[in-house]
Chains A and B, each alone.
Chain A
Amino acid sequence: MVLLTLMAIITIGVVRVRSLFAVVILGGIYSFLMASVMIVLDAVDVAMTEASVGAGISTVLMLGALYLTKTEEAAPTHTPFVPLFVAAGTAAALIYATVDLPSFGLADNPIHTHVAPRYLDYSVEETGVPNVVTSVLASYRGFDTLGEATVIFTAGIGVLLLLKGRRRIKPGPKRRRIRR
């Protein structure tokens, strides 16, 4: 699809551009394109979450972090041959593996046969909620959502522990650690 090709082009931009402010904005564009792709793929809940979280909160957090650090990336000092080789090797192995995967979109793929038809058939009469994603998230797989809320809680506590309060040291020349 055209959207996926656009996303690939934006990714090349993210790799090459060195101004971090531009990288953050390109990341926001990428998240919006990903949300559009997800609507095309019938995942409306996920598209709303990706648009609000990826293009909204993630961009704001990165801009906040850039405000506290510097906004330009230094020129690369090592030659990129080893990482390029690793990346190309990984890509070749993964593409070789995807040829065996089931084709896109067929109704008798193995993923659609086991548990999903049961959730789709019995969701309205067992939970009374037409949105199957919400009923699976909150009722059938409620433990996972409890774990997820705990992860968000832990991340919030962690960030508050690291960043709360004003800086107590003055920004100055780099301090040398004195070893005795």
Chain B
Amino acid sequence: MFVFTDIIAHYNQWVTVFLMVAGLYIVVARGNMVKKLVGLSLFQTSVYLLYISAGKILGGTPPIIEAGREVYSNPLPHVLILTAIVVGVATLALGLALVVRINEAFGTIEEDEIFAEDAE
């Protein structure tokens, strides 16, 4: 089913899927809140890779207009991902602030211990 040209054509997307699934696994399987946030940011960066590799043209140059270049890579995914990176770090900062407050209220950042204490 998979030919060698398929691998070359889709390697970026398969690595994206691997990184995305690794981030998902960290969010679902680990109980530590800071590690969950790291997993979430891993998930987000895999999506950046997907979009940027969709915008690349083989043989093109970065999208800065200068004399003598003909083929430019597509600038629209770059704009989208620039916004996404900064929004991602903003949500990471808010998430970390919430984790710090949870730690001060419960004394721990492990999910199991917080659930156990909250049920009392």
The interface of chain A, by Cβ under 8 A from chain B, is: 1, 4-5, 7-8, 11-12, 14-15, 20, 23-24, 27, 30-31, 34, 37-38, 41-46, 49-50, 53-54, 57-58, 61-62, 64-66, 68-70, 73-74, 76-78, 80, 83-84, 86-88, 90-91, 94-95, 98-99, 101-107, 109, 111-112, 115-116, 119-120, 123-124, 130-133, 136-137, 141, 144-145, 148, 151-152, 154-156, 158-159, 162-163, 167, 169, 171, 174, 176-177
16 intermolecular pairs with C-beta atoms under 8 Å apart: A4-B15, A5-B15, A34-B45, A34-B48, A42-B57, A45-B82, A46-B48, A62-B38, A65-B96, A84-B29, A87-B21, A105-B57, A120-B75, A123-B65, A148-B87, A169-B104
- Using Cβ atoms and an 8 Å threshold, which residues of chain A touch B10? 98-99, 101, 103-104
Expressed in whole angstroms, the minimum distance between the Cβ of A33 and any Cβ of chain B is 10
* Contact indicator B99/A155 (Cβ below 8 Å): no
* Contact indicator B103/A69 (Cβ below 8 Å): yes
- Using Cβ atoms and an 8 Å threshold, which residues of chain B touch A24? 38
- Using Cβ atoms and an 8 Å threshold, which residues of chain B touch A120? 63, 65, 72, 75
B61-120 residues at the A interface, CB under 8 angstroms? 61-66, 71-79, 81-83, 85-87, 89-94, 96-101, 103-104, 106-110, 112, 117, 120
- Using Cβ atoms and an 8 Å threshold, which residues of chain A touch B53? 41, 104
* Contact indicator A43/B52 (Cβ below 8 Å): yes
Interface of chain B, main secondary structure: helix
Q: A69-B100, A133-B75, A174-B106 are in contact. Are A112 and B57 (CB under 8 A)?
A: yes
* Contact indicator A43/B78 (Cβ below 8 Å): yes
Cα distance A171–B106 in the bound complex, in angstroms: 10
- Using Cβ atoms and an 8 Å threshold, which residues of chain A touch B78? 43, 45-46, 133
Cα distance A10–B60 in the bound complex, in angstroms: 29
Cα distance A118–B72 in the bound complex, in angstroms: 12
Cα distance A42–B11 in the bound complex, in angstroms: 17
The list of the 9 closest CB pairs from A to B, nearest first, reads: A155-B90, A105-B58, A83-B29, A103-B9, A65-B96, A42-B73, A98-B13, A162-B97, A73-B32
* Contact indicator A111/B54 (Cβ below 8 Å): yes
